[in-house]
Structure 1
Amino acid sequence: MGKRDGRRRDVGGGSRSRRFVRALPALMICAGVAFDLGTPAEVTAVPLFTAAPLIAAPFFSLAGTVRVGVAAVLVVLVLRSSDGALAGVVSITDLLTLVSVVALSLVINRVVRRGNEQLASARVIAETAMRAVLPTPEDRIGGLEVAARYEAAQADEFVGGDLFAAADTPYGVRLVVGDVRGKGLDAVAAVAVVIGAFREAAEQERSLEGVAQRLERALAREGSRRGGLDSMEGFVTAVLAEIPVGSDTLKVINRGHPEPLVLHPDGSLDVLVPTEPALPLGMGLGAWPDRADEWTLPAGAMFLAFTDGLSEARDVKGAFYDPAERLRGRLFPGPEELLSALTDDVRLHTGGRSTDDLALLAVARPARGQQGRRTTVKIVRRDSE
């Protein structure tokens, strides 16, 4: 079954659930009427009537909850009037109980609505903070086509520790893709430190190794200011890359991050495995000097870097997603098409059950004769299903 079919089935299931919840208070009232008419007078159906406004309270608007409560009270009044027991002690007790529950339902509805409003406000603030920290790359940088994408693991979740950035510098186009340990606002603070240090270092440092060391020092400095690296999530796995001006050379430094890929126009690809494994940023200061590996990025080829939200995505059997295996032999017109196909494929692999955010950055060197072509590219934030 295709992804779209799966989506339609999920959406259909969600719609049916919502319709059932909306209908449940009316069903409880109807069940109460049937129970009351089919049982002796001394047997009460008030529990069913009281359940109706309680069910409506967290799901309905205030007006909708009021309507359900009033309907339940009116039905009980009609039933007790029809059997001549309206003035009885039991009937009065049932009515008082029902009215009390309706009042309680209105209080619950107000509390739930206020909580939802606060949650919505917090989500807006979180999204604004994340978008302010995470830069939006231009669609074309230094003659290269660029596309980036961030996908949250949970719906309506925008705060995470994945990051990417691209900069056109005197030394060529420089890139970073990273993943901060942890979640929440502390992770966003670490992302801000890394992105800020990268923007400055990418312009000033003559070598990619110098950029990596600047990021290392920035994390150490911020960790000391906060009383330790653990105060700002501890460490950051990252890939830094540089594509010098007028060259097909690709320089890469990998600090404990999933290996990026180079996709060639004939469908083949290279997995950029570092010659020497290195610790993540924030853990290796002074341990050894960074050394960039050199690869080639010929005309028509694409460089793809990603976080472990892609490479550690699992299917229902627990098998990891292998981006190299899934992309080998496939051709893509440009970086945006590559990212679209990749996110669709990983969602199909996981069945929409992603457990980690993912960030993707793709850079393409246009094929000869296409250097003037422009592609509209923007950051797309989509929530996993």
Structure 2
Amino acid sequence: MKVLRPTLAKVPWMLAALVLVAGVLLDRFAPQPYTGLPLLAAAPLIAGATLSFRSALAVVCVTCVVSVLVDVERGRPATPLLVDLAVVGLIGALALAVNRLIVRQRRDLALARDVAEGVQRAVLPEPPRKVGPLAVAAGYTAAQAEARIGGDFFTVQETPFGVRMIIGDVRGKGIAAVAAVSIAIGVFRQEAEYAATLVTLGQRMDEALTREAARSGPLSSMEGFITAVLAEVSADGEVLSLVNRGHPPPYLIHDGQLVRLDPTVPQLPLGLGLDDLTTADSVPADVVRLPPGASLLLVTDGVTEARDKRGTFYDPVASDGMRRRFSDPDAVVDALTEDVSRWTEGKRDDDMAILVVTRRHRAPRVA
């Protein structure tokens, strides 16, 4: 048998009607001097806060009529009748005013969210589906459903040295974080075309971010740095190089196995301006083989710092949902997103960015 359930759109109507009927019954059967006027007056308030203006106006008019009819049926004198009608009418007018304010605020909020989303998309466009020997997929999930803007970023770019990519996390939120993201991506896109190695690319990004910090003042919104993983896949797809600048390590997925690629030598985040004080020049990139069909999974700390109800951090390597064969990078993004959501029961404290590149079995011929 089919079970009928009220839709969410009908709930405000049902609630207003229920309150209205309860007010009539209380006015009719409650002992004097108790009346149902407070409940009658509550119906317009509910309608004003939850329904459209026309619907709320209809509820106000019906409530005024019901108030008069109830008083007439009880045989009340004209003065109490008019007082009750004035009370209901005044509250109804306030409810309609509240309705207009709510509608205006919702419209302004929707406009602000659309503008923020437009800025985010302009700064962080969707990566291409195919680049060189790689198939690409990406996902971004905000910590809150209302938030469409944050400090996680990624980009993929074909260069003379192979396909280069970056995933990073600005220490901050909102417009200030997006400004920092735009700088980081702009520097990456420029320097990725000319830096001979990933190590050099990381150093140039660090220098550019440090110069920007000096020009604009302390980057308090970023806490002064950006964590990132820079990766490079050779033109034939055989070789994968990695430089990790203080970011959660990436993962290699192949033949149903998932392996975390920890850096051989940990390095400092970008934007600190301390590369000259370290041995960054002597730290080579980590190099691994990328077999046909293998995927490189890059994430932000919204994945690795996701917790379950006991406070245990999520670990993709230990998850059964990630130890399987994936047909394409989109399947990896979907599986990881669902797995993290299951682990946290849908609750997250940080944005979550995912970038997956998969070496295609038949790479394009290199001229």
TM-score, reference length from structure 1: 0.88
Q: Are residues 1:77 and 2:68 paired?
A: yes
State the match for 1:106 in structure 2. Answer: 96
Cα distance in 1 for residues equivalent to 2:58 and 2:322 = 59
Q: Are residues 1:361 and 2:355 paired?
A: yes
Q: Superposition pairs for residues 161-200 of structure 1, below 5 Å? A: 161-200=151-190
Deviations 1:4-39 (A, max 9, x none): xxxxxxxx99x7666443321111110000000012
Cα distance in 2 for residues equivalent to 1:71 and 1:143 = 68
**How much has 1:231 moved relative to structure 2?**
4.8
Q: Superposition pairs for residues 89-104 of structure 1, below 5 Å? A: 90-104=80-94
Amino acid at match of 1:192: S
- Which segments of structure 1 move beyond 3 Å, counting only runs of 4 or more? 15-22
Cα distance in 2 for residues equivalent to 1:22 and 1:233 = 49
Tell me, which stretches of 5 or more residues in structure 1 are unaligned? Answer: 1-11, 373-385
Amino acid at match of 1:254: N
**How much has 1:371 moved relative to structure 2?**
3.6
Q: Superposition pairs for residues 1-385 of structure 1, below 5 Å? A: 19-88=10-79, 90-246=80-236, 248-264=238-254, 266-283=255-272, 284-288=274-278, 289=280, 291=283, 292-326=285-319, 329-367=323-361, 370-371=362-363
Q: Secondary structure at the match of 1:165?
A: strand
Deviations 1:150-191 (A, max 9, x none): 112222421011100001000011010001112111111111
Structure 1 vs Structure 2 CA RMSD: 2.0
Deviations 1:249-296 (A, max 9, x none): 2111111111101112x2223211111222221224433215311122
Cα distance in 1 for residues equivalent to 2:340 and 2:39 = 46
Q: Secondary structure at the match of 1:304?
A: strand
CA contact (8 A) 1:220 1:229 kept: no
**How much has 1:41 moved relative to structure 2?**
4.9
Deviations 1:337-364 (A, max 9, x none): 1111111111122211122211111111
Cα distance in 2 for residues equivalent to 1:27 and 1:269 = 56
Cα distance in 1 for residues equivalent to 2:289 and 2:13 = 59
Question: Structure 1 19/354 Cα, relative in aligned 2: closer, same or farther at 3 Å?
Answer: farther
Cα distance in 2 for residues equivalent to 1:172 and 1:120 = 41
**How much has 1:310 moved relative to structure 2?**
1.0
Greater shift in the superposed pair: 105-114 or 240-249: 240-249
Q: Which has the higher contact order (CA 8 A, sep 6+)?
A: 1
State the match for 1:6 in structure 2. Answer: none
**How much has 1:232 moved relative to structure 2?**
4.9
Q: Secondary structure at the match of 2:21?
A: helix
CA contact (8 A) 1:223 1:232 kept: no
Deviations 1:307-350 (A, max 9, x none): 11111111222221111222663110111111111111111222
CA contact (8 A) 1:223 1:230 kept: no
Cα distance in 1 for residues equivalent to 2:10 and 2:269 = 49
Greater shift in the superposed pair: 288-297 or 357-366: 288-297
CA contact (8 A) 1:57 1:108 kept: yes
Cα distance in 2 for residues equivalent to 1:39 and 1:242 = 78
Question: Structure 1 268/231 Cα, relative in aligned 2: closer, same or farther at 3 Å?
Answer: closer
Greater shift in the superposed pair: 17-26 or 295-304: 17-26
CA contact (8 A) 2:242 2:287 kept: yes
Work out the number of aligned pairs and report it: 356
Deviations 1:201-256 (A, max 9, x none): 11111111111112112221221222112155522111001112225221111111
Amino acid at match of 1:172: G
Q: Secondary structure at the match of 2:276?
A: coil
CA contact (8 A) 1:253 1:293 kept: yes
CA contact (8 A) 1:235 1:282 kept: yes
CA contact (8 A) 2:20 2:39 kept: yes
Question: Structure 1 86/71 Cα, relative in aligned 2: closer, same or farther at 3 Å?
Answer: farther
- Structure 1 vs Structure 2: percent identity of aligned residues? 44
Question: Structure 1 318/161 Cα, relative in aligned 2: closer, same or farther at 3 Å?
Answer: same
Amino acid at match of 1:128: G
Tell me, which stretches of 5 or more residues in structure 2 are unaligned? Answer: none
Q: Secondary structure at the match of 1:64?
A: helix
